Amino acid sequence: MKEKPEAGKKATFMVQVQYRENASWQGQITWVEANQTRNFRSALELIKLMDSAAGSDRLPEQREQARD
């Protein structure tokens, strides 16, 4: 059985670029370890999602919900 890695240790993503418009990418990213999929509207947003996931075991929306 595959163990879930510690936060900040490993993150695997599947990226599907669906469109290239306005000099940027739009598509979906799946965080494999957490089995979560999110849409992105730009390459910057894609990188921010990856950075957030790689540094945590939750995506930004989940961290905000946990604070409430």
Residuewise pLDDT in 10s, the chain (68 residues): 345 555 556 788 999 999 998 888 999 999 998 899 999 999 999 999 998 887 765 555 655 666 66
Would you call 35 helix, strand, or coil by DSSP?
coil
| Alpha carbons 13 and 33: distance in angstroms, whole number | 8
| Alpha carbons 65 and 2: distance in angstroms, whole number | 27
Are the C-beta atoms of 28 and 5 separated by less than 8 Å? Answer: no
- In this prediction, residue 55 carries a pLDDT of 76
Q: What is the pTM of this model?
A: 0.64
- In this prediction, residue 1 carries a pLDDT of 38
Nearest to 7 by CA among 57, 66, 67: 57
- In this prediction, residue 33 carries a pLDDT of 86
Q: At 24, list the tokens.
A: 């940027």
